[in-house]
């Protein structure tokens, strides 16, 4: 994990330049703890794409903590900001997944280009390295390249892949993958889906159909279905609007946030926690499988300021 912390720090360089460094420079001036200082803190938080509501809430909580703990110097405020950010993120953590009755079936959804197929491959790689078994379901039957890409990942991690012909029924692919996992005692089923524009109601309805098909396949054999929404961090608040549409169509349990290394607005992590009330489960800060790891709030906040 220390290796990934180094990757995380490097990946958050753009956000640190916009957010962490500016915040530290402001607080290191030794200015009074007055309205002007906390308004400046809000402004910096907003510039990192935390969102207005999150910035206001954090600013209030930091001020209250400082008063409660008798903080009188601006140089001592930073640790209180970090503590409040961690608490904010921890409050939205997901409960541990119950793997006592496999398989753990995960449906990956999101708009075109956010990195769903790649994320599935990387997460499958993590499970493989942990000695766990995986089935990939290539339910994006409308884009041949997606299935081919998933096949490459399957070969890399020793996973089985279930595919269909071009234009086949995605729900049937998902159903067959879960059945295959039951028959082989596989621990994880990771289901790829076509990229969807949130305005296309028929495509959203298809997601619901896939979910019903998976639950039917689980049937009496056991297992549980979760849905992870893959988001591109570089899209910022626009990505949040897309995410909100997905949550209307299907029950989303967690977020995979990709491309954090490509944006100066890593504060989107806090905005997601606030607006969606859905935990970030994985974050990506680069191209390799090792650059995608499970999200740890305290580590993320620490990396923002180191």
Domain ranges of the chain: 104-252
Distance CA 35, CA 249 (A): 42
* Mean pLDDT in residue range 91-96: 64
- Do 286 and 260 contact (CB within 8 A), yes or no? no
- Do 238 and 245 contact (CB within 8 A), yes or no? no
- The answer on pLDDT for 1 being more than 60 is no
Domain spanning 104-252: CATH superfamily: P-loop containing nucleotide triphosphate hydrolases (3.40.50.300)
Confidence of residue 135 (pLDDT cuts 50, 70, 90): very high
Confidence of residue 98 (pLDDT cuts 50, 70, 90): low
Strands lying side by side in the sheet with 104-109: 160-162, 134-138, 188-192, 104-109, 224-232, 254-258, 280-284, 292-294
Q: For the residues of the chain, what is the DSSP string, one character each?
A: -HHHHHHHHHHTHHHIIIIIHHHHHHHTT---SSHHHHHHHHHHHHHTT--HHHHHHHHHHHHHHHHHTT---GGGHHHHHHHHHHHHHHTTPPPPP--SSS-EEEEEE--TTS-HHHHHHHHHHHHHHTT--EEEEE--TT-HHHHHHHHHHHHHHT-EEE---TT--HHHHHHHHHHHHHHHT-SEEEEE-----TT-HHHHHHHHHHHHHHHHHHGGG--EEEEEEEEEGGGHHHHHHHHHHHHHHS---EEEEE-GGG-S-TTHHHHHHHHT---EEEEE-SSSGGGEEE--HHHHHHHHH-
What are the φ/ψ torsions at residue 284 (nearest 5 degrees)? -120, 135
Residues making up the chain, counted from first to last: 306
Confidence of residue 94 (pLDDT cuts 50, 70, 90): low
Confidence of residue 283 (pLDDT cuts 50, 70, 90): very high
Quote the pLDDT of residue 8. Answer: 84
Confidence of residue 97 (pLDDT cuts 50, 70, 90): low
Quote the pLDDT of residue 274. Answer: 85
Confidence of residue 198 (pLDDT cuts 50, 70, 90): low
- The answer on pLDDT for 226 being more than 80 is yes
């Amino acid at each position: 994990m220390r290796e990934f912390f180094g990757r995380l720090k490097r990946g958050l360089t753009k956000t640190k330049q916009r957010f962490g460094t500016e915040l530290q420079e402001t607080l290191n001036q030794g200015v009074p703890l007055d309205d002007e200082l906390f308004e400046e803190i809000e402004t910096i938080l907003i510039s990192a794409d935390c969102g207005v509501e999150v910035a206001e809430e954090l600013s209030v909580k930091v001020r209250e903590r400082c008063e409660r703990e008798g903080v009188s110097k601006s140089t001592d405020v930073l640790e209180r900001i970090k503590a409040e950010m961690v608490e904010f993120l921890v409050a939205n953590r997901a409960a541990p997944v119950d793997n006592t009755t496999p398989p753990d079936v995960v449906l990956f959804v999101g708009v075109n280009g956010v990195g769903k197929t790649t994320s599935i491959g990387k997460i499958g790689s993590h499970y493989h390295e942990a000695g766990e078994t995986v089935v990939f379901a290539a339910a994006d039957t409308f884009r041949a390249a997606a299935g081919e890409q998933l096949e490459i990942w399957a070969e890399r991690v020793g996973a089985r892949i279930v595919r269909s012909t071009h234009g086949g029924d995605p729900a049937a692919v998902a159903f067959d993958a879960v059945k295959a996992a039951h028959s082989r005692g596989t621990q994880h089923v990771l289901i790829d889906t076509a990229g969807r524009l949130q305005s296309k109601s028929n495509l959203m309805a298809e997601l619901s159909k896939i979910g019903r098909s998976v639950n039917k396949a689980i049937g009496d054999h056991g297992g549980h279905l979760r849905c992870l929404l893959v988001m591109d961090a570089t899209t910022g608040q626009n990505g949040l609007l897309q995410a909100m549409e997905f949550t209307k169509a299907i029950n989303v349990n967690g977020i995979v946030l990709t491309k954090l290394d490509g944006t100066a607005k890593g504060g989107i992590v806090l905005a997601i926690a606030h607006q969606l009330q859905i935990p970030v489960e994985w974050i990506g800060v680069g191209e390799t499988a090792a650059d995608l790891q499970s999200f740890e709030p305290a580590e993320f906040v620490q990396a923002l300021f180191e």
